[in-house]
Protein backbone atom coordinates (compact mmCIF):
# COMPACT_ATOMS: atom_id res chain seq x y z
CA UNK A 1 0.00 0.00 0.00
CA UNK A 2 2.85 2.41 0.79
CA UNK A 3 4.42 1.90 -2.64
CA UNK A 4 1.08 2.56 -4.25
CA UNK A 5 0.65 5.76 -2.22
CA UNK A 6 4.16 6.86 -3.18
CA UNK A 7 3.33 6.25 -6.83
CA UNK A 8 0.18 8.35 -6.55
CA UNK A 9 2.13 11.11 -4.81
CA UNK A 10 4.86 10.95 -7.45
CA UNK A 11 2.34 11.20 -10.29
CA UNK A 12 0.70 14.20 -8.65
CA UNK A 13 4.09 15.83 -8.13
CA UNK A 14 4.87 15.40 -11.84
CA UNK A 15 1.44 16.75 -12.85
CA UNK A 16 1.86 19.76 -10.59
CA UNK A 17 5.35 20.37 -11.99
CA UNK A 18 4.15 20.31 -15.61
CA UNK A 19 1.16 22.56 -14.87
CA UNK A 20 3.34 25.01 -12.91
CA UNK A 21 5.89 25.08 -15.73
CA UNK A 22 3.10 25.78 -18.23
CA UNK A 23 1.72 28.57 -16.04
CA UNK A 24 5.18 30.09 -15.52
CA UNK A 25 5.83 30.05 -19.26
CA UNK A 26 2.62 31.97 -19.93
CA UNK A 27 3.08 34.31 -16.94
CA UNK A 28 6.64 35.14 -17.99
CA UNK A 29 8.00 34.79 -14.48
CA UNK A 30 5.21 36.61 -12.68
CA UNK A 31 2.69 35.09 -10.28
CA UNK A 32 -0.27 35.85 -12.54
CA UNK A 33 -1.26 35.84 -16.19
CA UNK A 34 -2.56 39.00 -17.81
CA UNK A 35 -5.11 38.92 -20.60
CA UNK A 36 -2.52 39.55 -23.34
CA UNK A 37 -0.39 36.65 -22.09
CA UNK A 38 -3.45 34.42 -21.82
CA UNK A 39 -4.34 35.33 -25.41
CA UNK A 40 -0.84 34.48 -26.61
CA UNK A 41 -1.06 31.08 -24.92
CA UNK A 42 -4.49 30.26 -26.35
CA UNK A 43 -3.51 31.40 -29.83
CA UNK A 44 -0.91 28.62 -29.87
CA UNK A 45 -3.87 26.26 -30.08
CA UNK A 46 -6.09 28.46 -32.22
CA UNK A 47 -4.25 31.16 -34.16
CA UNK A 48 -7.53 32.61 -35.45
CA UNK A 49 -9.13 32.83 -32.01
CA UNK A 50 -11.53 35.78 -31.97
CA UNK A 51 -11.33 38.52 -29.37
CA UNK A 52 -14.84 37.60 -28.25
CA UNK A 53 -13.92 33.96 -27.56
CA UNK A 54 -10.72 35.08 -25.82
CA UNK A 55 -12.69 37.47 -23.61
CA UNK A 56 -15.12 34.72 -22.64
CA UNK A 57 -12.29 32.29 -21.86
CA UNK A 58 -10.45 34.91 -19.81
CA UNK A 59 -13.61 35.77 -17.86
CA UNK A 60 -14.18 32.06 -17.18
CA UNK A 61 -10.62 31.58 -15.96
CA UNK A 62 -10.46 34.78 -13.89
CA UNK A 63 -12.74 33.48 -11.16
CA UNK A 64 -12.27 36.39 -8.77
CA UNK A 65 -12.63 38.99 -11.58
CA UNK A 66 -9.49 40.87 -10.59
CA UNK A 67 -8.19 41.12 -14.16
CA UNK A 68 -5.53 38.44 -13.71
CA UNK A 69 -5.38 34.66 -13.65
CA UNK A 70 -3.59 33.10 -10.70
CA UNK A 71 -1.93 29.69 -10.82
CA UNK A 72 -4.84 28.05 -9.00
CA UNK A 73 -7.39 29.71 -11.31
CA UNK A 74 -5.37 28.56 -14.32
CA UNK A 75 -5.23 24.94 -13.17
CA UNK A 76 -8.92 24.86 -12.26
CA UNK A 77 -9.87 26.39 -15.61
CA UNK A 78 -7.67 23.95 -17.54
CA UNK A 79 -9.12 21.01 -15.64
CA UNK A 80 -12.65 22.14 -16.48
CA UNK A 81 -11.66 22.59 -20.14
CA UNK A 82 -10.08 19.13 -20.21
CA UNK A 83 -13.21 17.54 -18.72
CA UNK A 84 -15.44 19.28 -21.23
CA UNK A 85 -13.14 18.25 -24.05
CA UNK A 86 -13.27 14.63 -22.86
CA UNK A 87 -17.04 14.83 -23.26
CA UNK A 88 -16.69 15.82 -26.90
CA UNK A 89 -16.50 19.60 -26.69
CA UNK A 90 -13.63 20.87 -28.77
CA UNK A 91 -11.57 23.46 -26.95
CA UNK A 92 -8.33 25.28 -27.52
CA UNK A 93 -6.95 25.31 -23.99
CA UNK A 94 -5.37 21.87 -23.89
CA UNK A 95 -4.27 22.18 -27.52
CA UNK A 96 -2.48 25.41 -26.62
CA UNK A 97 -0.81 23.81 -23.61
CA UNK A 98 0.25 20.82 -25.70
CA UNK A 99 1.76 23.06 -28.37
CA UNK A 100 3.76 24.90 -25.74
CA UNK A 101 5.55 21.62 -25.01
CA UNK A 102 5.66 20.41 -28.65
CA UNK A 103 8.52 22.69 -29.70
CA UNK A 104 8.99 21.31 -33.22
CA UNK A 105 5.26 21.27 -33.99
CA UNK A 106 5.14 17.64 -35.15
CA UNK A 107 2.07 16.82 -32.98
CA UNK A 108 4.14 14.76 -30.54
CA UNK A 109 6.27 15.66 -27.54
CA UNK A 110 9.67 13.98 -27.49
CA UNK A 111 11.61 13.27 -24.33
CA UNK A 112 14.04 15.99 -25.40
CA UNK A 113 11.22 18.55 -25.77
CA UNK A 114 9.81 17.67 -22.36
CA UNK A 115 13.25 17.98 -20.81
CA UNK A 116 14.01 21.27 -22.61
CA UNK A 117 10.83 23.01 -21.44
CA UNK A 118 11.34 21.82 -17.87
CA UNK A 119 14.99 22.93 -17.89
CA UNK A 120 14.10 26.32 -19.40
CA UNK A 121 11.70 26.82 -16.51
CA UNK A 122 14.33 25.94 -13.94
CA UNK A 123 12.99 22.47 -13.14
CA UNK A 124 15.89 20.09 -12.72
CA UNK A 125 15.21 16.37 -12.86
CA UNK A 126 17.77 13.62 -12.79
CA UNK A 127 18.08 11.53 -15.94
CA UNK A 128 16.40 8.69 -14.05
CA UNK A 129 13.45 10.88 -12.99
CA UNK A 130 13.08 12.32 -16.50
CA UNK A 131 13.00 8.82 -18.01
CA UNK A 132 10.51 7.73 -15.36
CA UNK A 133 8.23 10.70 -16.02
CA UNK A 134 8.34 10.17 -19.77
CA UNK A 135 7.58 6.44 -19.46
CA UNK A 136 4.63 7.17 -17.18
CA UNK A 137 3.07 9.56 -19.70
CA UNK A 138 3.97 7.50 -22.80
CA UNK A 139 1.14 4.99 -22.41
CA UNK A 140 1.81 3.12 -25.66
CA UNK A 141 5.63 3.17 -25.25
CA UNK A 142 6.22 4.52 -28.76
CA UNK A 143 8.85 7.03 -27.63
CA UNK A 144 6.71 10.15 -28.05
CA UNK A 145 3.81 11.74 -26.23
CA UNK A 146 0.61 12.24 -28.18
CA UNK A 147 -1.92 14.93 -27.33
CA UNK A 148 -4.18 12.32 -25.73
CA UNK A 149 -1.39 10.84 -23.60
CA UNK A 150 -0.33 14.29 -22.42
CA UNK A 151 -3.83 15.55 -21.58
CA UNK A 152 -4.84 12.22 -19.99
CA UNK A 153 -1.79 12.39 -17.76
CA UNK A 154 -2.50 15.94 -16.62
CA UNK A 155 -6.22 15.42 -16.11
CA UNK A 156 -7.07 11.71 -15.91
CA UNK A 157 -10.71 11.03 -16.73
CA UNK A 158 -11.97 8.48 -14.25
Higher pLDDT, 9 or 3: 9
Determine whether 27 is exposed, middle or buried from the number of CB atoms within 10 Å of its CB (0-12, 13-18, 19+).
buried
Which range, 52-56, 87-91, 137-141, 151-155, is most confident?
A: 137-141
Is a pLDDT exceeding 80 seen at residue 90?
no
What's the number of domains the chain is made of?
A: 1
In a domain, 43, yes or no: yes
In a domain, 123, yes or no: yes
CATH (domain of 23): 1.10.238.10
Quick one: pLDDT at residue 124? Answer: 85
DSSP category for residue 109: B
Identify the band that residue 1 occupies on the pLDDT scale cut at 50, 70 and 90.
Answer: very low
Contact 61, 73 (CB under 8 A): yes
State if pTM tops 0.85: no
In a domain, 39, yes or no: yes
pLDDT, average across residues 56-71: 95
Is a pLDDT exceeding 70 seen at residue 60?
yes
Of 78, 5, 117, 127, the C-alpha closest to 135 is: 127
Q: What is the mean pLDDT of the chain?
A: 87
In a domain, 3, yes or no: no
In a domain, 122, yes or no: yes
What separation in angstroms does the CA of 36 have from each of 75, 80, 93?
18, 21, 15
Identify the band that residue 18 occupies on the pLDDT scale cut at 50, 70 and 90.
Answer: very high
In a domain, 4, yes or no: no
In a domain, 1, yes or no: no
In a domain, 2, yes or no: no
Determine the structural domain holding residue 105 and report its residue range.
9-154
Amino acid sequence: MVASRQSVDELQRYRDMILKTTFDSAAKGKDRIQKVEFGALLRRGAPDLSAQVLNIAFRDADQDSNGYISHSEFVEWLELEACQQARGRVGVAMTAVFRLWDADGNANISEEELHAVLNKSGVRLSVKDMCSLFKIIDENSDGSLSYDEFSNFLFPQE
